[in-house]
Structure 1
Amino acid sequence: MNDIDPSRRFSADAVRKLNASSSEERPAVLNEMARQVATQLERDTLRPVMVSGMLRIMEFAVLLLSGLGLYLFYVGPLDVMFWHYCLVIAGGSLIAVTFMEFGECYQIAALMRPFATFSRIFLIWAATFALMALTGFALKVSGDFSRIMFGAWFVVGFVAIFFLRLVMAKMIRRWARNGRMERRAVIVGGGKAAEDLIRAVEQQPHNDIRICGIFDDRDDKRSPPVVAGYPKLGTISELIEFARIARIDLLIVSLPITAEQRVLQLLKKLWVLPVDIRLSAHSNALQFRPRAYSYIGSIPLLDIFDKPINDWDSVAKRAFDIVFSLIGIVLFSPIMIATAIAIKLDSKGPVLFKQKRHGFNNEVIEVYKFRSMYADQSDPTAKKTVTRNDPRVTRVGRFIRKTSIDELPQFFNALFGSLSLVGPRPHAVAAQSHNLLYAEVVDGYFARHKVKPGVTGWAQINGWRGEMDTNEKIRMRTEYDLYYIENWSLLFDLRILILTPFRLLNTENAY
């Protein structure tokens, strides 16, 4: 279980090989215009896929509730067929939503034009009833159900769905006008290729892409300061800092596929960002199979990197964190109360220790721990690593560090959202190894921050916890963290969570 499967590390391995002889660049300083643009884009947007997903849930709920309401009104809850009606109504609602999915009724273009999809939705709703009727006939149970009730549901359900879509269309247009629902894109690389790409994007009907600017390392002679009306905001290094501030969804590299070396040089800088990275194939003569592309309208793009744990995966992970954080707080509350009392009795100072650490997308977060050092010798910056028999650690501190009880307050971090329960462990902002920052030791180190950091992680249950006193330990922890990011699933999170208490019994590296 300690071995990382090399066959599943295609993307990160490829880039790490490129970085073998380079070091992580320090953050660049943004020019004033770039900083102003980034500040305007700090607020998160509504992703179209999330909007259409919510509509699926809402339409299922509307159909289900309208059907149950009509049943209760016309037939009554005391009918012996109560559960049969519930099953048929729920099944019919699910079938209708599924048919509308296959009928592409949840595409943003369709949602913005409800009258254009009127007949399609009506036919799908009619097909749903036809399928239910055919099933009832085949099972010889159709006579047991009220035809008047189902006839009323056909009318009421369709009216309710169409009214909901009218409201949704109005809201989507409003969100599109005020920038609340859009995909924010940055063009990497300027010149004629970028201009052609921008013109093509702008010509796409029902386009949800907002181009926020252009970044290019070339000077103004080779890459004009303004392309198709969009400014060049800085270099590729400055783009890294820009994307730390602005909420960017998509980076589109507007270079020909044949410029392999140039593309690889860009990717080794950009892959650490938690965004989708695409290579424009708009003007390339080299063609691939259609399934190799993703599209903006009809514009083909080659997928290079995907933002990990995105959209509905992020919703599922957040729900996982809330549920299991609450369970953890309830289960471990007696231990946390006893620990707080022991710390107070053992040494002067606060019970909790707060430390600045790197969070998602390099944001600085405050992580809670039980204080394990003497208050006047605490090291919030973590410049000096805790070592075996460290005199700064209290008697209670040695025990709670070995058993990882000092980490229990981080259940509250996970509940409030600054941490996840499972993810790469957050390191202190100024954490060092042999007077070098971790980012200077490991190329691609900041790729750990493409997801929210965790209370426990894949590296920790595989033995890479405790003191990071050698460069090799930092590299291996990063390696396992990147494996987790590339292979994330809720089952993987659950596996790590279950194994954590057992692996904590090994206290060799914890002191």
Structure 2
Amino acid sequence: MTRHMPISETQDAPPRRRITLPLAPPLEQRRLQLYIALLLLDGAAILNGFCIASWLYLGRFLDETSLLHSQVMLPIYWSIALSLQVYTLTALRRPNFARARAGLSLIGAETVLLFVGFATKSTDNFSRVSSLLGLGLSLVLLMWVRALVRPLIKARCGDAVTNTLLIDDGGTPLRIPHAYHIDAREHHLAPDLSDPHMMDRLGLYMMNMDRVMVSCPHDRRAAWALVFKSANVSGEIVDPEVNMLGVLGARRERGYGALIVASGPLGLRARAVKRLLDLALAGGAVLALGPVLLLVAVLIKLEDGGPVLFIQKRTGRGNRFFPIFKFRSMRVERLDSTGSRSASKDDDRITRIGRFIRSTSIDELPQLFNVLRGEMSIVGPRPHAIGSLAGEKLFWEVDHRYWLRHSLKPGLTGLAQVRGLRGATDTETDLANRLQADLEYLDGWTIWRDLKIIVNTARVLVHDRAF
């Protein structure tokens, strides 16, 4: 989704123009593609280096011993290269760093191979001249590969390789090379934790950003910190005193300092593992439960002729709205699009088939399609409607830490659900208990805990508070 926003004119500013949101393209997938391409190109460079050496010295391009040498070396090289950060952001940004680490990895792999060969008395099977020549040619080809892909890295990810957003909210003036600079007043941005629409707007500006910085007065730092922590970004608050004080846990760079307040709960590898688990489970569940989904859809349609699905706007990862899918369990004329009234045990809005599918959690099954679309995960904090109340207060009015739960994708089930914390939130305590479970889930994610929650969910599918 893109939106066009006007930029206000100042006395020295260029004519008014419009910008498209999100501000930047997503770079994470592009960087991953570059890492894979570099890994494969390094492998090709090593294989070709030894084959060319064999052709020059032995007259055979595909010499058996040279091929064996390079093939055994490759996994050793890749293992060392990964540990030496050959395929990292630093390597993409700094060509000299990448070349030096790739060269060290190659020499390290050859050293390991020679040690193993000496220990197993198998070095006599290899031509020493061909091996040394192959090592030298492989090193030259590795350096050439790095020079070859440099224009591609710039074309795909730009000079900085990351997206940085600097928001000026009335703090110390600052300019960052290759960053997107936004004046909060011109763009009507504020860390208003009581307004979900503003949080959605901020989420749109921060979308696809690897790093978001804000320069603001001291009294607005706490609000911005909560915004960053809930938005699944690496968030920083500019502080001119950081360099002088030498604060630990701060980012210190030339000309400015920033307190690091958020980095997102999951790294790239963890998100990839979690996404693969989601696709495998959601895809398998849709195929296995296809007849059930079809039967429930027919029964809902036959009961009153209304729509099969109930689609409601809810807050998801990064405080962004998304449409959640559920089987409709209430009468069409009594549907609650904002979720301001929680369902109760004897709720007169619920249909006959709706009462059954709610008590067995079957009404939640269409959310498997939200998982496949990437808007939800199998396990995570449950998404809430923006009008949901705990007692007489909106959820975020009870505790501003509520926004932190949006740093991960919402889930079909979660730690709060397997603990029996579901149903109506009649009191603020009901929300507080769920929030505590959600925050606990955010602290130290592992794939094993997700699997444990999925297994335990089977015990609470039918629940006395599922109405």
When the two structures are superposed, what TM-score results if normalisation uses the length of structure 1? 0.72
Name the residue aligned to 1:74: 62
Q: Aligned match of 1:458 in 409, 415, 423?
A: 415
1:213 equivalenced with 2:182 (yes/no): yes
Q: Aligned match of 1:186 in 167, 183, 202?
A: 167
Q: Aligned match of 1:336 in 267, 278, 293?
A: 293
Matches within 5 A, 1:383-422: 383-422=340-379
The CA deviation at 1:407 is: 0.9
Q: Aligned match of 2:123 in 142, 145, 148?
A: 142
Distance of aligned partners of 1:348 and 1:235 in 2 relative to their CA distance in 1, 3 Å threshold: closer
Q: Is the 8 A contact 1:213 1:232 kept in 2?
A: yes
The CA deviation at 1:400 is: 1.3
Which segment drifts farther, 386-395 or 110-119?
A: 110-119
Distance in 2 separating the partners of 1:293 and 1:377: 52
Distance of aligned partners of 1:284 and 1:232 in 2 relative to their CA distance in 1, 3 Å threshold: farther
Q: What code does the residue aligned with 2:426 have?
A: D
The CA deviation at 1:510 is: 0.6
Distance of aligned partners of 1:109 and 1:149 in 2 relative to their CA distance in 1, 3 Å threshold: same
Distance of aligned partners of 1:473 and 1:39 in 2 relative to their CA distance in 1, 3 Å threshold: farther
Instruction: Give CA deviations for 1:211-255 in whole Å, capped at 9, x if unaligned.
Output: 523558xxxxxxxxxxxxxx8966544985652221244444557
The CA deviation at 1:66 is: 6.3
The CA deviation at 1:406 is: 1.1
The CA deviation at 1:414 is: 0.1
Secondary structure at the aligned position of 1:381 is classed as coil
Distance in 1 separating the partners of 2:232 and 2:291: 38
Distance in 1 separating the partners of 2:414 and 2:397: 22
1:308 equivalenced with 2:277 (yes/no): no
Q: Aligned match of 1:129 in 88, 102, 110?
A: 110
The CA deviation at 1:403 is: 1.1
Q: What code does the residue aligned with 1:447 have?
A: L
Q: Is the 8 A contact 1:420 1:453 kept in 2?
A: yes
Secondary structure at the aligned position of 1:184 is classed as strand
1:486 equivalenced with 2:467 (yes/no): no
The CA deviation at 1:210 is: 0.7
Distance in 1 separating the partners of 2:381 and 2:460: 16
Q: Aligned match of 2:72 in 79, 85, 88?
A: 88
Q: Is the 8 A contact 2:211 2:233 kept in 1?
A: yes
Q: Aligned match of 2:39 in 60, 73, 86?
A: 60
Q: Aligned match of 2:232 in 264, 274, 297?
A: 274
Name the residue aligned to 1:370: 327
Which segment drifts farther, 305-314 or 178-187?
A: 178-187
Instruction: Give CA deviations for 1:255-287 in whole Å, capped at 9, x if unaligned.
Output: 79xx6x774465466654433233446544754
Distance of aligned partners of 1:147 and 1:387 in 2 relative to their CA distance in 1, 3 Å threshold: farther
Distance of aligned partners of 1:233 and 1:363 in 2 relative to their CA distance in 1, 3 Å threshold: closer
The CA deviation at 1:402 is: 0.9
Distance in 2 separating the partners of 1:93 and 1:262: 49
Identity among equivalent positions (%) equals: 27
Distance of aligned partners of 1:377 and 1:183 in 2 relative to their CA distance in 1, 3 Å threshold: same
Secondary structure at the aligned position of 2:75 is classed as helix
Distance of aligned partners of 1:398 and 1:460 in 2 relative to their CA distance in 1, 3 Å threshold: same
Distance in 1 separating the partners of 2:18 and 2:434: 36
Name the residue aligned to 1:23: none
Q: Is the 8 A contact 1:361 1:450 kept in 2?
A: yes
Secondary structure at the aligned position of 1:444 is classed as helix
Distance in 2 separating the partners of 1:314 and 1:143: 46
Name the residue aligned to 2:55: none
For structure 2, the 5+ residue unaligned runs are 10-15, 52-60
When the two structures are superposed, what TM-score results if normalisation uses the length of structure 2? 0.77
Distance in 2 separating the partners of 1:188 and 1:316: 37
Distance of aligned partners of 1:118 and 1:64 in 2 relative to their CA distance in 1, 3 Å threshold: closer
The CA deviation at 1:370 is: 1.7
Distance of aligned partners of 1:33 and 1:479 in 2 relative to their CA distance in 1, 3 Å threshold: farther
**Which has the higher relative contact order, 1 or 2, with Cα contacts under 8 A spaced 6 or more apart?**
1
The CA deviation at 1:415 is: 0.7
Q: What code does the residue aligned with 2:181 have?
A: C
Q: Is the 8 A contact 1:59 1:161 kept in 2?
A: no
Distance in 1 separating the partners of 2:143 and 2:324: 48
1:245 equivalenced with 2:204 (yes/no): yes
Distance of aligned partners of 1:282 and 1:356 in 2 relative to their CA distance in 1, 3 Å threshold: closer
Name the residue aligned to 2:404: 447
Secondary structure at the aligned position of 1:313 is classed as helix
Q: Is the 8 A contact 1:272 1:447 kept in 2?
A: yes
Secondary structure at the aligned position of 1:429 is classed as coil
Distance of aligned partners of 1:67 and 1:306 in 2 relative to their CA distance in 1, 3 Å threshold: closer
Distance of aligned partners of 1:115 and 1:417 in 2 relative to their CA distance in 1, 3 Å threshold: closer
Name the residue aligned to 2:81: 97
Q: What code does the residue aligned with 2:142 have?
A: I
Distance in 2 separating the partners of 1:53 and 1:297: 28
Q: Aligned match of 1:46 in 6, 24, 27?
A: 27
Distance of aligned partners of 1:287 and 1:169 in 2 relative to their CA distance in 1, 3 Å threshold: same
Name the residue aligned to 2:434: 477
Distance in 1 separating the partners of 2:143 and 2:70: 23
Distance in 2 separating the partners of 1:109 and 1:417: 29
Distance of aligned partners of 1:294 and 1:313 in 2 relative to their CA distance in 1, 3 Å threshold: farther
Secondary structure at the aligned position of 2:339 is classed as coil
Distance of aligned partners of 1:63 and 1:268 in 2 relative to their CA distance in 1, 3 Å threshold: closer
Secondary structure at the aligned position of 2:179 is classed as strand
For structure 1, the 5+ residue unaligned runs are 1-29, 203-208, 217-230
Secondary structure at the aligned position of 2:261 is classed as strand
Instruction: Give CA deviations for 1:270-319 in whole Å, capped at 9, x if unaligned.
Output: 65443323344654475447x64444468554322322334443333222
The CA deviation at 1:401 is: 0.8
Matches within 5 A, 1:335-354: 335-354=292-311
Secondary structure at the aligned position of 1:355 is classed as strand
Distance of aligned partners of 1:107 and 1:461 in 2 relative to their CA distance in 1, 3 Å threshold: closer
Secondary structure at the aligned position of 1:74 is classed as coil
